[in-house]
Structure formats: structure tokens, C-alpha cells
Amino acid sequence: MATASRSTSRPASRSTAAPEPGPTVFVLFGATGDLAKRMVLPAFYTLATRGLLPKDWMLVGNGRGDVAHEDFRAHVHQVLTEFGPTLKPAEWKRFAARLRFAGGGFNSDDPGSLLDVIAEARKSVGHSAQLVHYLAVPPVAFPELTKALGEHDLARGARVVFEKPFGTSPEQFRSLDRIVHSVLQEDQVYRIDHFLGKEATQDLHVLRFANGIFEAMWNRDHIAEVQIDVPERLGINDRAGFYDATGAVLDMLVTHLFQVAAEVAMEPPASLSADDLQAAREKVIGRFRRLDPDEVVLGQFAGYRDVPGIASRSRTDTYVAATLWIDNARWRGVPFLLRTGKRLAAGEQRVSLILRAPNGPFAGVTGHSNVLSFSLAGDGQIDLSVLAKKPGPGRELDRATTSLPLGQLAGAQPLPPYVRLIHDVLLGDRSLFTRPDGLSAVWKVATPLLEHRPRLHSYPQGSWGPPAARKLVPSGRWLLGQ
């Protein structure tokens, strides 16, 4: 297979300078937990070192323990040393000076020390500072924390970030949604899905809507199937309790993969405003057909039940492959093939649009010869595979691939997903966050699978999962691995 790689050194550009956020007090619930450690605190430090935080800001960590400000700063330093960018003494000193900790927990009956610490923070950055609450806690804690924000007058005018999953069943989603809207207006709510913050996920709609050559082929007449494939080498040792209560379907399918499918499938929005982008994404989710359990394969990697913290008879799925259908004129009859799993042979995040085989003299060419794909990992990359005549005296065809690494575009300043999304929260931009109407539709799509779970297949670690998943693909082959 011939391969070429090219990046444009002087791309046409159309940019708008982002407004600078105003004074902000950022409250991080679950500040000493795993999510804060791995994602939120490193992202916040990156924002600080990139000059993307407001001139006046303060970060207040919250937790049950009675932790001194100095001890919290030491904890954050340790976290950033392990998971963050390289610490520079001068940058760390400036960052650490803005860290505070409010212990004693926080609930409707007892705010602990949070009210006092927020009041002190506002003395430093301004009494009118924007409050941003980030709930980096398990979903079971969302309802009480939300009620407590209202009870202690911390909800008025605030922005509140909810981690996924926003509910772990249709019933829990509806209950949580009622509680949230009893305290907050919808425009205050930021339901985060970090796959929407990925550079290449955003480029799915930019490439299509900004380039007529792709928009013209973005339909059932030209696309045979769409594969959204997120295999993972990683296991679940560091989050066994959480994972055993959710599994691949709840952790990945009804959150990340459905949202990426919507990014691929949505109709052109009226504009690139937050409201119009959200509306286009949620509208197409409303056209997702309910999953057929006969078109879903579930798996569990061998040895899963031996992991500390996992029940000895656990039936939790660590793998899911599913066929999603979309009932509209653009996509009717085109399978969206979604796959993800733990302890697989490779780690990738790829969206592939497989074009239909041509008519005429090349009608018999091998399938998967013409593919437009997007790597969602890292800074993102666009790959295009086409059939070409191999140079020489004969007429032999070969597949040629050209790649565009997005991070190599001139002037590129890619942001990791959590950095981008937290920055959008600071700016009040909700375009990359989910809405309740879309989430309600997602739960309806998943209900048949949740009520009638297919057989659970065992698969070897380091494999590509249960062989039964091949039957979901019309051509019998996933682009990755099989």
C-alpha cells in the first residue's frame, strides 16, 4: 500500500479571538479523587500556564477531610508531578498561591467550611466573581450536591459542570434532570463528555461543512457504513468499583460513542453558535432507532473477575459492539457500527466513513478501498484512502493513503479535551456540552438493550474481542484488527 503524508503550511484561516473570562472562583468537588487527579487538576494547570485563565481566579477544592490549604497544595503538586505537564518553579508558585481547600464535606444540612472559603476567595478576586462548580464525584452524589448548592445560595448565577454519566438508567436520568432543573436554569448546566472536546471530533463537522467536496458525499448514496471504533488496551484496576457498576455500555456506548455518531450524522446547523450546534446534534439523536439486542455483542475479558474489587460472579460487560441505525433521509439503511472494549489488542479512537464500491469498470474492487477516517486520539489526524493505479506497465490497482496530522497545521495550538471544555465553561460556551433532550433520546435508544441483555461472551486479553462481532459488519471485517 502506497502512503503519503502532507500538511498545509499556510492554510486558509478564519479565526475569532476568544473573549477573556472574567474573575472566577472555581469550586472542585471531589478534589482529592481519581478524576480530579487524572483529568481536572492537570487541565486547570495547563490553562494557567497557557494564559487561558482569567486575570483574577481562585480554585477551591472541596472534600470531607479537614485538610489545610498547604496540605492541599502539596497534594496538587504531587498530582501534577505524576499526571500533569512539567512543573516550572515560577509557574507552580504562582499557581499554588491561588489554591484553597474547604473541608468538612458539603451537603444540604451542613456546608462544612465551603461558604467561608468561598467568601475569602471572593475578597481576593472580587465579590462579583463568577462561580463555577465542578462535580468530579460519582453520579450517585450529583443529586445531593445539586440540592445543597441551592440550599446554601451557591447556585444563583453559577455554572455547574456534571461529569458523565448523567444518570445510569432512564429512571435515574429523569430523576436527576428534575432535581437539576429545580435548582438551576438549563443555561447554567454543563454536562461534560470529553469526546466532544477532542480536536478531531470537532473537525468532523468542520471538514464536512467547510469543504463542499465532502458535504456532497456525506449521505447514504455514497457511504456504505460508518465505523466508530474505540478499542482500549487498558484494564480497570484503578477504578474497579465504578466500572463494575457501569460496564462498557454505560461507560462508553450511551455516552461517548452515541455523541460521536451524532457529530458524524447531524444535519448542517443554521450557524456555528452553541444553540444551533447543540440543536443539530440533539435533533439527529432523536432519529436514532432503538437498539436491537440481536445486533449487539457483549463481552467480558478473561480474568476480569479476578481483579480486586470485582464480584466473583460479575456479569458486567467490558466490551460492546453494536449496530446503530438512523431513521432519516440522509442515513436510512447505513449501519453505524460502534465498538469499544477493555484489554483489547490495540488502543485507538477512530471514525471511518467507508464509501460505496463504484459502478462501471471498477465495480468489482475490494471493499474498504475508499475510506475517509479520523483519528480522535491526541491532536487528531485525517486519513484518506483511495484506489490508484500502481505506476508501471500494467493496470494493477493499489490503495494509497494520505494523512493530515492536525497538530502540524501552521500555528496550531491544540488543547487536550478537558482543557478545551473547562475553558469553554469559563467562557460560558455550551456548544460542546450535551442537552437533556438528547440524553433523554439516548436512554430511549438504549432501553431495549438494558432490558434484554444479550449473551455475555468471554474473550482473551490482548485479542480483538468476541468473534461474534464480525457478524455485525456487512463486509464481515472491522477496519481495525479484523
153 burial type by CB count under 10 A (0-12 exposed, 13-18 middle, 19+ buried):
exposed
Residue 215 in marked binding region:
no
Separation CA 420–CA 432 (nearest Å): 10
Residue 32 in marked binding region:
yes
Residue 291 in marked binding region:
no
Residue 342 in marked binding region:
yes
Q: What is the 3-state secondary structure (H, E, C) of 317-365?
A: CCEEEEEECECCCCCCCCCEEEEEECCECCCCCEEEEEECCCCHHHCCC
Query: Measured on CA atoms in the order 148, 154, 155, 158, is the torsion positive or negative?
Result: negative
All residues at 6 or more sequence positions from 471 whose CB lies less than 8 Å from its CB, including other chains: 297
Residue 251 in marked binding region:
yes
Residue 147 in marked binding region:
no
221, 189, 208: which is closest to 263 by C-alpha?
Answer: 208
DSSP bridge pairs for 130: 24
Residue 30 in marked binding region:
yes
Residue 88 in marked binding region:
no
Residue 274 in marked binding region:
no
Separation CA 332–CA 60 (nearest Å): 49
Separation CA 290–CA 308 (nearest Å): 35
Residue 65 in marked binding region:
no
Residue 360 in marked binding region:
no
Residue 133 in marked binding region:
no
Residue 115 in marked binding region:
no
Active-site positions? 256
Residue 35 in marked binding region:
yes
Residue 10 in marked binding region:
no
Pairing type for strands 350-355 and 159-162 reads unpaired
189, 141, 169: which is closest to 451 by C-alpha?
Answer: 169
Phi, psi of 171 (to 5 degrees): -65, -45
404, 389, 447, 307: which is closest to 6 by C-alpha?
Answer: 404
Name the strand (E) or helix (H) holding 79.
helix 69-83
DSSP 16-68: -PPPPP--EEEEEETTTSHHIIIIIHHHHHHHHHTT-S-SSEEEEEE-SS---
220, 293, 226: which is closest to 260 by C-alpha?
Answer: 226
Feature table: binding site for NADP(+): 30-37, 64, 164
Residues that constitute the known binding site for substrate: 194, 198, 232, 251, 342
**Known binding site: residues?**
30-37, 64, 164, 194, 198, 232, 251, 342
